Copies of this chain bind each other. A is one copy, B any other.
Amino acid sequence: MTDALTETLDDEIVELGEITGSLGFLLRMAQLRAFDYFFQTLGEHDLRPGEFTVLWVIGLNPGLRQGTIARRLHIKPAHMTKLIQRLSAAGWVTRTVPQDDRRSVRLALTGEGEAFVARYRDGFLHAHLAERSNLAPDDAEHLIALLRRYSGLEGAGT
A residues at B contact (CB < 8 Å): 7-35, 37-38, 49, 53, 56-57, 60-65, 68-69, 72, 74, 124-125, 127-128, 130-135, 139-140, 142-144, 146-154, 156-158
* CB-CB nearest 5 A-B residue pairs: A23-B128, A29-B151, A26-B147, A14-B72, A143-B146
- Stoichiometry (number of copies): 2
Q: List residues of chain B with CB within 8 A of the CB of A34.
A: 23-24, 27
Instruction: Assess the A26–B60 pair: CB atoms within 8 A.
Output: no
Chain B residue, CB-CB nearest to A62: B8
A65–B142 alpha-carbon span in the complex (Å): 38
Chain A interface, >50% SS class? helix
Chain B residue, CB-CB nearest to A72: B14
Instruction: Assess the B143–A147 pair: CB atoms within 8 A.
Output: yes
A49-B33 contact given A17-B56, A125-B18, A135-B146, CB 8 Å threshold:
no
Instruction: Assess the A14–B147 pair: CB atoms within 8 A.
Output: no
Instruction: Assess the A24–B10 pair: CB atoms within 8 A.
Output: no
Instruction: Assess the B157–A16 pair: CB atoms within 8 A.
Output: yes
A13–B68 alpha-carbon span in the complex (Å): 9
25 A-B residue pairings within 8 Å (CB atoms): A8-B63, A8-B64, A10-B65, A11-B64, A11-B65, A12-B68, A16-B60, A17-B57, A17-B157, A21-B128, A21-B144, A25-B53, A26-B147, A26-B148, A27-B147, A29-B147, A29-B152, A30-B151, A32-B151, A132-B150, A133-B150, A134-B151, A142-B146, A143-B146, A146-B146
